[in-house]
Amino acid sequence: MKRILLTALATLPFWACASVDEMADKIEPKVIEWRHHLHQHPELSNREVETAKYVAAYMKELGFEVQTGVALTGVVAVLDSGKPGPTVALRADMDGLPVLEDNDLPWKSTARGVFNGQDVPVMHACGHDTHVAMLMGAAAILADMKDQLRGQVKFIFQPAEEGAPEGEVGGAEIMVMEDVLKDPDVDVIFGLHIWSKLDVGTIAYREGGIMAAVDPFKLVVKGKQAHGAYPWLSVDPIVTSAQIIMGLQTIVSREIELVEDGAVVTVGSIHGGVRSNIIPEEVEIVGTIRTLNDKARDHMYEAIPRKVKAIAESMGAEVEITLPLDYNYPVTYNDPELMREMLDTVIRTAGKDNVVNRKPTTGAEDFSFFQKEVPGLYFFVGGKPLDVKAEDAPAHHTPSFFVHDDGMKTGVKLLTNLTLDYMAKN
């Protein structure tokens, strides 16, 4: 009997003697407390000063080596087990959005900030408050388990995931440029996003592209101004722009192999002219491209200039193309081999019935910059109460956005288990 028991123990992960579930239960009240504080005190991108202080103070309390001011307001903490092994990075984003909260909560945000020179309300309308709280919870558990770890854990609290203000840079791309994945060199990175339309207790995953690349663009169509009564004297940039906008859609509908390569082209802004009876000299068009793999992305970069220039030339107009416009994110790409290696961990964390292989989304995430440097996995964790239908759950980036505190324990356990299992396997 003793020999059978020893054989069984030898097949378990090295940390199995400590129950992550029990430790997650124990830390959950603190995770909720942290989330409520962060939700009441949101800060905009590149302005997460107090959030960073709050996080850094706790990481120091845990005894970690802490670095602040990374990519302006980011915090990086390192837990060193003192034993050889891989370096696992865990990431949470910290910034809120210029949204006025419309929820009746004791911890509702009434904060305000300055966004591109304007005084605005600020709200954690995408759940980044929960991401920070979940990573703090995982840090607390892993600190307690330090003697059982092999290698190092790097906790990355990232600013400006929602995009830096005008005239600034920020986010994951800048963290990578500032060598956040170095010293110690990161072997693998894990991240997650709470989701308002996914059941509490559920984890969604996908091999390959799970979130789209984003590439904003600007077109300036230049024509010849004339009186609106005499259009034959003009080169009309408005009519030309209309043809261009319709032509852009044919790239997706006629050039992209939609059963294999997802893509979206959206024009979100058109500006031109000042009066009804004046054909203007130029029109500005601003839009976004979303693609789910590099093949589709490369095709859009080739096709848009080709299509736009040809249409403008056919109308006698000229066009200036800026692509990408300012920021752009790669595809959030889950390394297939790593996903297959860690899928058992995901299933054990939430239970087989609560793990969903989801379709990709055309939303974007700058976590993708980390994945361009090292293998990484990105997951969605449910935040929707079970008694709410998915279609009735408020969407992200809206005033009524809401995710339940109960969803965070699954995220804490997932980040912890991924770290422990990866160390055990590598």
Tell me which residue has tokens 């800060």.
43
Dist CA 317 CA 222 (whole Å): 6
Dist CA 175 CA 390 (whole Å): 35
Dist CA 394 CA 107 (whole Å): 18
Burial category of 175 from C-beta neighbours within 10 Å (exposed 0-12, middle 13-18, buried 19 and up): buried
Dist CA 266 CA 99 (whole Å): 22
Interior/surface letters 232-269, b for 16+ CB within 10 angstroms, e for the rest: eebbbbbbbbbbbbebbeebbeebbeeeebbbbbebee
Q: 62 and 143 in contact (C-beta within 8 Å)? A: yes
Question: In 3D, which of 407, 33, 39, 35 has the Cα closest to residue 197?
Answer: 407
> Euclidean distance between the first and final Cα of the chain, in Å?
30
Question: In 3D, which of 196, 125, 158 has the Cα closest to residue 55?
Answer: 158
Q: Catalytic site residues?
A: 95, 161
